[in-house]
């Protein structure tokens, strides 16, 4: 059996480009160039049928290491907690006050981009502290 070496993470959302651009800022990802024959994504979008305009957007890790992120428009809104979420690893190896300071600094960077701080999960016997956040459409993620 062949092993899978690449995967993408797909987000259901109302505004794919808005959410994709948020995650580009969070992760340092980039928007790929528009399809051949189009100078911009906007011109590509205008070439689509009205119902398909703005229906999807992608971003990728410029180093090619991280997974591609795909954002697709869906008609229904988010109503319950995510069954899957991203952990944004900003304090790996840090503990105590040093870890909290790194988490808080990243939180402060993301809030002006549209993120919402939900709650701090304090360290316990098994886990270090992390911050639960929401992206621009309310999808949960953790600063870890």
Closest CA to 113 of 82, 141, 80, 76: 141
85-129 pLDDT, tens digit per residue, is 899 999 999 999 999 999 999 999 999 999 999 999 998 888 899
Q: Say how far apart CA 128 and CA 136 lie, in whole Å.
A: 26
Mean of per-residue pLDDT scores for the chain: 92
How many other C-beta atoms can be found within 10 angstroms of the C-beta atom of residue 26?
20
Q: What is the pTM of this model?
A: 0.89
Contact predicate 132/86, CB 8 Å = no
Mean per-residue pLDDT, 65-92: 89
How far is the C-alpha of 106 from the C-alpha of 112, rounded, in Å? 11
């Amino acid at each position: 059996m062949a092993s899978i070496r690449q995967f993408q993470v797909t987000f259901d959302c109302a505004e794919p480009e808005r959410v994709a651009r948020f995650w580009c800022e969070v992760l340092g990802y980039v928007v790929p160039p528009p399809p051949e024959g189009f100078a911009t994504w906007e011109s590509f979008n205008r070439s689509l049928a009205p119902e398909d305009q703005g229906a999807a957007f992608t971003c990728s890790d410029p180093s090619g290491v991280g997974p591609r992120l795909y954002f697709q428009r869906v008609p229904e809104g988010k109503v319950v907690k995510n069954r899957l979420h991203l952990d944004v690893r900003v304090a790996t190896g840090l503990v105590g006050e040093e870890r909290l300071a790194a988490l808080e600094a990243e939180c402060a960077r993301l809030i002006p981009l549209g993120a919402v701080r939900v709650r701090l999960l304090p360290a316990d016997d098994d886990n270090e502290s992390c911050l639960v956040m929401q992206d621009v459409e309310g999808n949960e993620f953790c600063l870890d």
